[in-house]
Structure 1
Amino acid sequence: MNMTIEEIKSVSIYNWMKENGYGAGSIKGKNVFYCSPLRSEKTPSFVVNTKDNLWYDFGTGKGGNLINLVEQINSAWTMHEVLGYLEKQIKEKRLQFNEDFNARILEEEKKRQWLTGKRIEYQESKNQETIVDKVIPLTHPILRDYIIQRHIDFAIAQKYCKEVHYSFRGRQYYAIAFMNVVGGMEARNKLSKRCIGKKSISAIYPNEVPQKECCIFEGFFDMLAYMTMSARMPGNGVTVVESCDLFVLNGVGEVRLLLPYLKRYDSIHCFLDNDEADRTATKEITKAYPNKSIDESYRYQCYNDLNDFLLEKK
């Protein structure tokens, strides 16, 4: 299921009733009255509150949200069948969200854009004070130990990462460097993580020539964990058997930069984190490529991300 339960519950019951042959009902302010879909009657006693997006049947004393309604109408169905049916209807009939839900989504998007702008401003101010001294092959023993502590194969990390030495506000630092498509880099050590240069996604082609399938990760440690499992843990139950190109978002805020890169692929495997922000990113990818995208996060559903899974299973 691509939609969350909260999203399905927030679909307009009034719109669902109208699209499923129950008519427009008798509108009285914020309430709309119907003949009950749960029983036979001639006088309408089934009410939908369009403000709260809830229903109540005076004849049975039952009520609830849209999911509860479909459960009552189809009492023999499992919850999986109910949710699958509703998600299919929402897509096919283009059912509308309740107005309050739409307003909340719009407000959340404005907030996300504002926070993204502030993060960019902060990153740019830090970059103005950052001087990159050198970028070299990854060899520093402290960085090596940190990578090994994360159960990442160090030879794999050396293949895909560099080592950066930089100055910030007069102090010297060193970190693992993971390059992105515009020449910036994610810089990470045991104590901190930051971006040096412009923020963007990273694209990796392990087979040197483009493949028909790709995998997407939120951060480069998840990508390294994936490659470690592929190389060292046969039958791990997480990695896919097909050869894939690799994309790293370097933060869920970069998902829209990724979308144009995905056009050419037959299958898109999403290995994003099991948190709300990454689930939203997965849905955005799936919305853009509904017939190609595969949410693979169920493979490590008890863990926050791939690296956490590797730390537990190693």
Structure 2
Amino acid sequence: MENHRFDLNQIRENVNLVDTLSRLGYEPLRKSGGELFYLSMLRDNDSAPSFCVNEKAGLWYDHGMGRGGNVIDFAVHFWPNLTFKQAVEELIKVSGNSVNEIQGRPFVPRQTELILHLPSYIIRESKELGGNKSISNYLQGRGVMDVSANHLKELYYSVKLKDGTRREMFAAGWQNELGGWEVRNAYFKGCLGKKAMSFIPGNPETIVLFEGMLDFLSWKKLSPLQDASILVLNSLSFLDYAIQRAGKYRTIELFFDHDSAGKKATLLALSQLPQAVDQSAKYEGYNDFNEKLTAMIHAEKDPVIRKANPNNVPLRNR
């Protein structure tokens, strides 16, 4: 297959998971509440249907493995001996499509009611950045608007209130590996759908780990020529899994917070990954990379601060 740069959003939306399973020879054994149940094709010891697919959301979950995700995640697990690129190519081939066919189609995001307990969210639409002044102002205030276009979207969604009515909302958002949306605005921080990490492929020899997307974007702004693979945890609860995934890389850089949880995470990662390096000294005096970036921006704008602190010494240490 030709050496394409994949548009993973297009593939996710245009390759049907249930149809792909059928083409691979797997059919559901039962259906319940809009979900299809299969004998797991990812394990050899499944005696009862424990591989669940939500066809509307395009998501799967293997209860025996405790893992799930979208159709691309399935391909990575189904063909574990292939590289990520090879697994995506095989997925496209099995689906009966070609890369050009899939990526030539107009991208129409699904209006999906994500599976949550309470409250219930509906994703109305995701748009490119720049059309919503409030979202743009928020990202500009965090110093990352100019490096966010390829990573964040304007996300429009509604939340179901206790009285049954819906409230329309919007935020800056990025999708994690299970199709959930991490959302941020000036007043709200949360996740719509399943919580998971976010991976951005790059240099296969080097990976950089961050707690949050805004810290990654801050690093990207100050290190624009870096080409490393990126793993954003979105929650330190995924630290063990992140350590496992990072272990195959020759070079690992850690940019965790300077709070108690971040320091513990750094120590644990360093103890299990001999090739890892703690890079948090780059924002010494600040809790995280984004806090340093925003302080630098405010200092540049304020002549009083700039005159008093010409070398950008962390203000909390002065």
Q: Taking structure 1 as the reference length, what is the TM-score of the superposition?
A: 0.53
2 CA distance for matches of 1:299 and 1:229?
Answer: 11
2:280 maps to amino acid: S
1:110-125, aligned counterparts within 5 Å? 124-125=116-117
1:144 maps to amino acid: S
1:297 maps to amino acid: S
Aligned to 1:117: none
Find out whether 1:143 has 2:135 as its counterpart. yes
1 CA distance for matches of 2:268 and 2:168?
Answer: 39
1 CA distance for matches of 2:226 and 2:216?
Answer: 15
CA deviation after TM superposition for structure 1 residue 256, in Å: 1.9
Structure 1 unaligned regions, length at least 5: 1-122, 232-240
CA deviation after TM superposition for structure 1 residue 124, in Å: 3.9
1:250 maps to amino acid: N
Find out whether 1:221 has 2:214 as its counterpart. yes
2 CA distance for matches of 1:262 and 1:179?
Answer: 20
Find out whether 1:204 has 2:200 as its counterpart. yes
Aligned to 2:100: none
CA deviation after TM superposition for structure 1 residue 284, in Å: 2.1
CA deviation after TM superposition for structure 1 residue 243, in Å: 3.1
CA deviation after TM superposition for structure 1 residue 288, in Å: 2.1
2 CA distance for matches of 1:273 and 1:190?
Answer: 20
CA deviation after TM superposition for structure 1 residue 242, in Å: 5.5
2:254–2:277 contact (8 Å) kept in structure 1: yes
Aligned to 1:284: 268
Cα distance 1:294–1:201, how it changes in 2: closer, same or farther (>3 A)? same
- Aligned residue for 1:312, secondary structure, equals helix
Aligned to 1:254: 238
Aligned to 1:131: 122
- Aligned residue for 2:285, secondary structure, equals coil
1:230-249, aligned counterparts within 5 Å? 230-231=223-224, 243-249=227-233
- Amino-acid identity (%): 27
- Aligned residue for 1:261, secondary structure, equals helix
CA deviation after TM superposition for structure 1 residue 134, in Å: 1.3
1:304 maps to amino acid: N
Aligned to 1:103: none
Aligned to 1:163: 154
2 CA distance for matches of 1:124 and 1:310?
Answer: 34
2 CA distance for matches of 1:124 and 1:283?
Answer: 34
Radius of gyration: which is bigger?
1
| Runs of 4+ in structure 1 over 2 Å off | 123-126
Find out whether 1:175 has 2:175 as its counterpart. no
2 CA distance for matches of 1:135 and 1:311?
Answer: 26
2 CA distance for matches of 1:277 and 1:292?
Answer: 21
1:190-221 per-position Cα deviation (integer Å, ceiling 9, x unaligned): 1101101100111012x4xx431111111111
Q: Taking structure 2 as the reference length, what is the TM-score of the superposition?
A: 0.53
- Aligned residue for 1:159, secondary structure, equals coil
Structure of greater relative contact order (alpha carbons < 8 Å, 6+ residues apart):
1
Select which of 256, 280, 283 maps to 1:272.
256
2:155–2:171 contact (8 Å) kept in structure 1: yes
- Aligned residue for 1:158, secondary structure, equals coil
Q: How many residues align?
A: 177
